[in-house]
Structure 1
Amino acid sequence: MNLILNSDSYKYSHFLQYPPETATISAYAEARRGGPYENVLFFGLQMFLKEYLSGRVTMQDVEEANELITAHGLPFNRKGWETLVERHGGKLPLLIEALPEGQVVPVGTPLIQVRNTDPDFFWLPTFLETALLRAIWYPSTVATLSHSVRKIISASLERTCDTPDEVLPFRLHDFGARGTTSLEQAGLGGVAHLVSFLGTDTVAGVVAARRYYHEPMAGFSIPAAEHSTMTSWGEDRETEAYRNMLTQFGGPGKLVAVVSDSYDLYRAVKNIWGEELKAEVEATGGTLVVRPDSGDASRVPVDTLVMLGEIFGFTTNQKGFKVLNPAVRVIQGDGITPETIRVILGRMEDLGWSAENMAFGMGAGLLQKVNRDTLRFAMKANARQDKDGEWHGINKNPKTDPGKASKRYRQAVVMENGAPISVPLKDLGDRENMLKPVWENGELLVDWTFGEIRNRANGK
């Protein structure tokens, strides 16, 4: 990837637009207030630093960019990029500061801040806005969404389950790989989900955790049926298809998930699982996870749970809620959103069922139905340093949309009354700045492990 071409078209003329006395530009990125969440879970910058900024710009890159950008109709800063190659060996003369990945902070808190370290490259921090902002808004948004669902499920488990901490990590499963636009997006979003949960079918996510965060295995899955493997037997052999799943994958302590709505979910649960195969299900010594996959997502999975309770029985836990026979559980993977999860768990509680009986799978709703505006991400310049060393605060403050006002002066993030807040760096005093250098002049300064990030995000 030619890093020079990783930007927006209008960026290529910006090197000619700053005041001539400019020596340094500082810019920061945040999730602005006004979105659906009060907090944001910061995640993903390290992947970008390792995958993209670790490379060096070459003269061949400069030649390619010069040819393309000028043909595209824009001025190209050939002298600047050639100087970068000659003086810095192709490494970007930048200092990037960031919060620790996995940190949960109120929206409106700076997550990263960048400035140039060579005065001849004052134009470089904002030139990288496109790449830097894209690097953090998507994984941070997915991580925030997943973390918010974790809180919803955790609250229900605390009310209804005897061992909530043990059950929670596998309550939300990532089914989103096929709904993303690319393998890279599946990896970025898939690993972001795994900050909060251990269940995933997005292999690219566990690959990303291993490649960028030193995690040998970040997530887990189980053998599971899909409609093609069930319908290939034909409707008249549906029982054989289900029996084959038990034969192939059942056993003491094992879990197997079987989609059961290929023809008639209610008949499958009552007649096949509940009569023809009931003894075989119980004899495996493992757990059959029934997956209803169509219909009203707020009603059908609860109906399935109730039917399984009538057939296989249940116990009542210490909190007074019903828990299915360990031989069976339910996972709903169709039509799942944070709101449907809240509705399903609420209906279960109303009917006296513990949240531990139900797992959820999210696909496009987790990895694809988000955009930069979900959390109102933006990156803005906040300070300019003259060649004489004096810093000036800069910001935007549009009267037509006060919500887009940006922060003036270089920023710091400090703890105040137990919560992170942003303050101008000039007012930091003796307080500790949570924005720490993570990248300087082509070198990675901090290398977070996935375990550290998970512990930070989940308060451990």
Structure 2
Amino acid sequence: MMLHTSNFAEAIDAGNFLLDTDSYKYSHPQQFPKGTERVFAYIEPRRADGVIDELVFFGLQAELMQLSGQVITQAMLDEAAPFIQAHGLSLYTEMFQHIIDAHDGRLPVQIDALPEGTIAPVSVPQVRIVNTDPKCWALPGFLETRLLRAVWYPSTVATLSNYVMRQIRSRLMETDGSDDGLAFKLHDFGARGATSAQSAALGGAAHLVNSMGTDTMGALVLARNVYGAEMAGFSIPATEHSTVTSFGPTGELAFMRQFLADNPNGIIACVSDSYDLMRAVREYWGTELRDAVLARDGVLVVRPDSGDPVDIVPAVIEALMEKFGYSETPKGFRILPDQLRVIQGDGVNKTSIVEIMDRMIERGLAIGNIAFGMGAGLLQKLDRDTFSYSMKTSAICVRGIWRDVFKDPVTAQGSKTSKKGRLGVMETDSGRFVVRPQDNIPPGHDALKPVFVDGALTLRHSFADIRKRVGLIR
């Protein structure tokens, strides 16, 4: 069937900056007090997610690079104004024309933020924004959609990843006596389950501030292009069911033998539940291929991929120990020979990982035996409400006089009370972050540092510095 393009309306530029906000934002300039000159707003996570009450701040820099330089053109304004009018609203053309004429399309705002990689409690602002040109007081509110989206997702991923990595590290110390190998204990399997290539890249990079294991290529590109990381993460040769099952049930053993022969060195992983997991573990790996596995200059990682992982993981490890033997760690826990490990990638999330490890500990198995591959639980099964991220206006300046702005809905019983005034963040001598009025913080002691001023990125964080702040990768 032939497609007649003449039947379609003229295309709109999907990258038009003026179209990247919530529709109702277009009606807000008429709603503020007459004489408004400045609008001050902040972004914060408002509540904990269960026991996770501290967040890793990450990801703003990627958005600020997109907002740098000329982002508004006359062509954008000419295109957006009638399109928004047809939508039932009107664009504040006076302000945006002023930005084009007086600022060459660059954004007259100042954005301050915590250093990326900072770990701070909930209810501590991570970002604040204020316009620098009195004629552009509506700009901070217009930017809310982009800024909040840029912050909540990568910070949430980084925080969940950080929580899991710290759970792994504490149990590694308990059973193995060290955290050697921690950087590769949590692997990102989430690219295919993300909603877009952009989210996979941003979320994948957020995970890499805590880990060095990933299969998300976009994350490596973003970490390099935005944060200067030459190579932020690593992967290994690994099978999948399509490759193993291409040889049929009778060909599984031959496939495994050939996989070992093709990879005589290094770390490799093989999915082993295509037909009968325990047969593969006991008869194939543990009998027919045992000598070849132990002769390798590297590690075979056996991957169970079905069943209840809390039961399956220790069962597989113990079955391998029956065939390959084991030693004991300095803490007295059993561990497989160096040539053999297990990875669990099915049914993995922040809760099940802890349950699996605790079951292993109950059975005397060292956490050094296991690594985890986390997919949707890492990059997708979360949202803005996970930590109740919000951007709120807390002060406006009307005809030269600042006034506090806040909300305190009775029906929310304090859960949605917003902060008031121009805010800053101080780090106390004990290392705690506390919120203070901006004017009450001594010069140089505000943890929110200028990162974007009048269209220019003024402070750029490296991936190495971010990892140092997070403190998991040495």
Quick one: which amino acid aligns to residue 390 of structure 2?
A
Q: Which runs of 4+ in 1 moved over 4 A?
A: none
The alignment's TM-score, normalised by the length of structure 1, stands at 0.97
Q: Is the 8 A contact 2:33 2:398 kept in 1?
A: no
Residue 202 of structure 1 is aligned with which of 216, 236, 239? 216
Give, in angstroms, the shift of residue 285 of structure 1. 2.4
Give, in angstroms, the shift of residue 226 of structure 1. 0.3
Residue 391 of structure 1 is aligned with which of 402, 405, 412? 402
- The answer for the alignment partner of 1:315 in structure 2 is 327
Quick one: which amino acid aligns to residue 395 of structure 1?
F
Structure 2 residue matching 1:74: 3-state secondary structure:
coil
- The answer for the alignment partner of 2:257 in structure 1 is 243
Residue 449 of structure 1 is aligned with which of 453, 462, 468? 462
- The answer for the alignment partner of 1:132 in structure 2 is 147
Residue 361 of structure 1 is aligned with which of 363, 366, 373? 373
Give, in angstroms, the shift of residue 53 of structure 1. 3.9
Output the CA distance in 1 between the equivalents of 2:182 and 2:421.
Answer: 42
- The answer for the alignment partner of 1:57 in structure 2 is 72
Identity, % of aligned positions: 45
Output the CA distance in 2 between the equivalents of 1:34 and 1:10.
Answer: 29
Quick one: which amino acid aligns to residue 277 of structure 2?
L
- Structure 1: state its 5+ residue gaps: none
**Greater CA drift, 228-237 or 26-35:** 26-35
Sort the Cα spacing of 1:130 and 1:413 in 2 relative to 1 into closer, same or farther, 3 A: same
Q: Does 1:169 align with 2:180?
A: no
Output the CA distance in 1 between the equivalents of 2:383 and 2:445.
Answer: 33
Deviations 1:310-333 (A, max 9, x none): 111111121111121111100000
Deviations 1:354-410 (A, max 9, x none): 11110001000100001000010000001111222x211111111111211111001
**Greater CA drift, 70-79 or 371-380:** 70-79
Deviations 1:194-216 (A, max 9, x none): 00001001111111100100001
Quick one: which amino acid aligns to residue 456 of structure 2?
E
- The answer for the alignment partner of 1:428 in structure 2 is 441
Q: Does 1:414 align with 2:426?
A: yes
Give, in angstroms, the shift of residue 415 of structure 1. 1.5
Output the CA distance in 2 between the equivalents of 1:286 and 1:384.
Answer: 62
- The answer for the alignment partner of 1:224 in structure 2 is 238
Q: Does 1:102 align with 2:113?
A: no
Quick one: which amino acid aligns to residue 194 of structure 2?
T
Alignment of 1:215-294 (within 5 A): 215-251=229-265, 254-294=266-306
Give, in angstroms, the shift of residue 418 of structure 1. 2.4
Residue 189 of structure 1 is aligned with which of 203, 216, 219? 203
Structure 1 residue matching 2:81: 3-state secondary structure:
helix
Output the CA distance in 2 between the equivalents of 1:34 and 1:243.
Answer: 49
Q: Does 1:25 align with 2:39?
A: yes
Give, in angstroms, the shift of residue 136 of structure 1. 0.4
- Structure 2: state its 5+ residue gaps: 1-14
Output the CA distance in 2 between the equivalents of 1:409 and 1:376.
Answer: 21
**Greater CA drift, 282-291 or 325-334:** 282-291
Quick one: which amino acid aligns to residue 170 of structure 1?
F
Q: Is the 8 A contact 1:34 1:403 kept in 2?
A: no
Quick one: which amino acid aligns to residue 186 of structure 2?
L
- The answer for the alignment partner of 2:313 in structure 1 is 301
**Greater CA drift, 122-131 or 418-427:** 418-427
Q: Is the 8 A contact 2:70 2:104 kept in 1?
A: no
Output the CA distance in 1 between the equivalents of 2:442 and 2:207.
Answer: 37
Quick one: which amino acid aligns to residue 409 of structure 2?
P
Residue 25 of structure 2 is aligned with which of 11, 32, 37? 11
Quick one: which amino acid aligns to residue 203 of structure 2?
G
**Greater CA drift, 425-434 or 44-53:** 425-434
Give, in angstroms, the shift of residue 429 of structure 1. 4.1
The alignment's TM-score, normalised by the length of structure 2, stands at 0.94
Output the CA distance in 2 between the equivalents of 1:431 and 1:284.
Answer: 56
Give, in angstroms, the shift of residue 349 of structure 1. 1.1
Give, in angstroms, the shift of residue 456 of structure 1. 0.3
Q: CA RMSD in A?
A: 1.2
Output the CA distance in 1 between the equivalents of 2:352 and 2:91.
Answer: 50
Deviations 1:416-458 (A, max 9, x none): 2420111111322467100010000011111100000011011
Output the CA distance in 1 between the equivalents of 2:250 and 2:384.
Answer: 48
Residue 108 of structure 2 is aligned with which of 82, 93, 99? 93
Q: Is the 8 A contact 1:414 1:431 kept in 2?
A: no
Give, in angstroms, the shift of residue 180 of structure 1. 0.5
Output the CA distance in 2 between the equivalents of 1:51 and 1:333.
Answer: 34
**Greater CA drift, 417-426 or 118-127:** 417-426
Structure 2 residue matching 1:438: 3-state secondary structure:
strand
Output the CA distance in 1 between the equivalents of 2:280 and 2:70.
Answer: 55
- The answer for the alignment partner of 1:145 in structure 2 is 160
Q: Is the 8 A contact 1:147 1:196 kept in 2?
A: yes
